[in-house]
Chain A
Amino acid sequence: MKKFMAVAIAGLGLAMTATVATAQAPATLAQVKSRGILNCGSNTGLAGFGVPDAQGNWQGLDVDYCRAISAAIFNDPTKVKFIPLSAKDRFTALQSGEVDVLVRNSTWTMSRDTALGLLFTGVNYYDGQGFMVRKKLGVTSALQLSGASVCTQQGTTTELNLADFFRANNLKYEVVAFASSDETVKAYDAGRCDAFTTDASGLYAERLKLTAPDDHMVLPEIISKEPLGPATRNTDAQWFNLVKWVHFAMLNAEELGVTKANVDEMLKSSNPEIKRLLGTEGKFGEAIGLTPDWAYRIVKQVGNYGESFEKNVGQGSLLKIARGQNGLWTKGGLQYAPPVR
């Protein structure tokens, strides 16, 4: 009986600690600093956005974002642990604290911004949903897809837009939803579906995985707005600001003509905007828990937004996606950063 009492008391003790554990968790930045590494929720493998190369190094636009955060915090872009997450697991992983930030081509929507306890920090890629079909089907428009089977990844806005599009146009279709993007592409490749749908950038990236990429074409219709961006938990305003301003720093650098190559020269610039950005004037970095040269580190070690874009999804990559909506606002695009001041 003594043994039993011991067990019971231990149980009670456990219960007590469980109730105490609700106390405020330490700030994300402090956690990351003490851990010495940033846990970044990443795609399981999407060319141009987040995919490990032949040497196992992660590459992509979203990957560069995580590296930029790491550079700003640690002055070292390699202190990132990429945690590959499927579409349906990604938000739970962020909510539960498994990752510090989710940079995984995720669409910013109202419900995700509110009910999920997350905050999207901005848009690092403006996208829209499209369809890919086999050329031999002879289809030239998504409106001709009546009666088609469509493969998609579950747990995405894609799944919802698909239903909206066919309903709005009074077309019949059959959805085949898979948990992982690999399975979705494989099933489409095997002929299970007539069409494959995801964000347009994803279509170009996934087409490279097909057995005969040239037999497939992307239809012209873009059926939705897909503003893709990073998300953080809704409980840490400082961390939210840090992640948000990493993107703005990269955009401002591009706008001011500061590049990876010339950033050291730019330190001597007399332009007050560049001085504030690179930390030679003012201490803006300290307000987000960083050093004054935070943006200098990002540009020096990762590059500005334009450089990252061209390297990963633009002309320097296999995808060859035009800047389009993702160009700077000064060049007719939508990318616009508030000033550092």
Chain B
Amino acid sequence: MTTIPTEPVQPGKASLLYDPKIRGYVYQLALLAVVGFLIYSAASNAIENLRAQKIASGFGFWHNAAGFDVNQKLIPFSASGSTYGQAFWVGLLNTLLVASIGIVLATFLGFFVGVARLSSNWILAKIAMVYVEVIRNLPLLLQLFFWYNAVLKPLPNPRQSIELPAGILLNNRGLYLPDPQLEPGGSLIVLTFLLGLVGAITFRYWARKQQEATGKQYPVGWIALGLVVVLPFFVYLLMGRPITFIYPELAGFNLRGGIQIFPEFVALLVGLTTYTAAFIAEVVRAGILAVSKGQSEAAHALGLRPGATLKLVVIPQAMRVIIPPLTSNYLNLTKNSSLAVAIGYPDLVQVFTGTVLNQTGQAVEVVAITMAVYLTISLVTSLFMNIYNKRMALVER
């Protein structure tokens, strides 16, 4: 405080020490070194202790034969030839399956309930309110037990399966759907369907550009329906119905044939969806209320009907408020799917951190891998939601 330099300081040895930029770098480097050393010492400490306790360590178990079976799997897995590594993939895919379907369903249900809560229809609004308050305030684990027992208990055994239309059977081993088989020429139908889907998306994009440019509107919904449903159905008839179904039939104790949807999966999916939807509903409600009332009044004054007002004016503006908390709810759903362990759905935690950990005894490695996987899934989800958020932010004004 004695002298205040009036001229710029000459670069020299003394100034380097007091240069805030350089000092900043030094501190950052020091912090990095401390953190790095902490991680290194923790890891080497763990390895040393494992060795001292004569517990096997390392990742060699990955290629060892598993020796157990899993009932629900998206990739082939059997006790005879599969490894612990394959068990990991079975579990991971089951986690991703239930999480991705759950996210889609929870989003739809959540948006519906959130909008319903603000509805001018008194009964609808109150039902939505009761739904949110009940579901949101009960522990998820309890709800999963409820759904698992509610799904399982009332259903009959396989010999007295409930027969639903179209050859679908329901019993306490699950829901059995007919398994479609492609005969020669059947792949053409799938191809038509895919082309129809691409066509519908392209048309929708084009129609929107046209509307923005000229104001002219096209019946997007009807044309999409024609492309995706009617066209493949015509091809199906034209080709002489080349898709046959294998229907589930009683054989011994259980049904054989068909696609089996397990009760554990249904219970977990329903539990996760309804639970997360209650939170999403509140996020949506908050988002809609964040759009000033003048916006919808202006839209009404322009002659837009309530549905169009919501769709074209309110929701697009509400989205920028909705997306960040929505991302958190998606992450929560994915992480909560690990509660599958309680009701016997073979997700990553059940198969890998449960059975594999116990059979190999390598807790440190298995838990570390599992944590890394959940971290990766969450970061990737966040990344995509952030990209989507940026796009939505640009649309706004």
Residues of A with Cβ closer than 8 Å to B? 1, 4, 8, 11-12, 14-15, 18-19, 21-22, 24, 87-88, 91-92, 95, 111-112, 114-117, 137, 145-149, 154-156, 159-160, 162-164, 167, 173-180, 183, 187, 190-192, 194, 233-235
Contacts and interface: CB of A to CB of B under 8 A. Distances in A.
A183 B264 CA distance: 12
Given A112-B361, A159-B68, 13 more contacts: A15-B38, A19-B41, A88-B355, A147-B252, A148-B252, A149-B71, A154-B355, A155-B357, A164-B67, A176-B264, A179-B350, A183-B343, A191-B172
A21 B45 contact: yes
A8 B341 contact: no
B172 A192 contact: yes
B41 A163 contact: no
A117 B53 contact: yes
Given A12-B37, A88-B354, A164-B79, A147 B30 contact: no
B350 A115 contact: no
Given A4-B27, A147-B251, A148-B254, A174 B71 contact: yes
A191 B152 contact: yes
Nearest to B344: A178
A24 B49 CA distance: 9
Interface of B: 27, 30-31, 34-35, 37-38, 41-42, 44-45, 48-50, 52-56, 67-71, 79-80, 149, 152-153, 155, 157, 172-173, 251-254, 256, 263-264, 341-344, 346, 350, 354-355, 357-363
Interface centre among B44, B53, B252, B358 (most CB of A within 10 A): B358
Nearest to B157: A191
A192 B252 CA distance: 15
Nearest 3 interchain pairs by C-beta: A155-B358, A163-B79, A117-B55
Contacts of B155: 191
Nearest to A22: B48
A191 B56 CA distance: 40
Contact of A12 (B34, B52, B343): B34
B38 A14 contact: yes
Contacts of A180: 342
B357 A190 contact: no
B35 to A, nearest CB: 8
B360 A115 contact: yes
Contacts of A154: 350, 354-355, 358
A8 B350 contact: no
A4 B31 CA distance: 9
